Amino acid sequence: KQEVTQIPAALSVPEGENLVLNCSFTDSAIYNLQWFRQDPGKGLTSLLLIQSSQREQTSGRLNASLDKSSGRSTLYIAASQPGDSATYLCAVPLGTSGSRLTFGEGTQLTVNP
């Protein structure tokens, strides 16, 4: 059974700091991994989808890395801004059923002005 863990559960940083969010998964036989952002009471916004054949994926100030062998992914946010405050979730497909995503519990990020 795939289990996804995100550490830390909450993170508070001053504006301008570079930061790393961590995601680990127990079954390394994944095809891809997706990072989402969720603002309070809102839906999920897809940030990055990284394929198992990729080691990194970048979008603006965001960079996601994937190390299948160690069962880890990181989301790097450069020069954080108050608008980055949200909960960040990672998700991987569950087993061979591509439709099912297993989500981590999320990291709640607060960027202070």
Residue numbers at the binding site for another protein (CB under 8 A): 30-32, 34, 36, 41-46, 49, 52, 89, 91, 93, 96-101, 103-106
Least gap, CB of 87 to another protein (angstroms): 9
Nearer to another protein, 80 or 107 (CB): 107
Calpha distance 104→97 (Å, rounded): 18
Report which of 30, 25, 22 is spatially closest to residue 6, judged by C-alpha positions: 22
Which SS3 state, helix, strand or coil, does residue 79 take?
coil
> What is the DSSP secondary structure assignment for residue 111, as one 8-state letter?
E
Nearer to another protein, 76 or 103 (CB): 103
User: Strand locations in the chain, DSSP E?
Assistant: 4-7, 10-14, 19-25, 32-38, 44-51, 56-59, 62-67, 72-77, 86-94, 97-103, 107-112
Nearer to another protein, 80 or 93 (CB): 93
Least gap, CB of 101 to another protein (angstroms): 6
Least gap, CB of 103 to another protein (angstroms): 3
Nearer to another protein, 13 or 101 (CB): 101
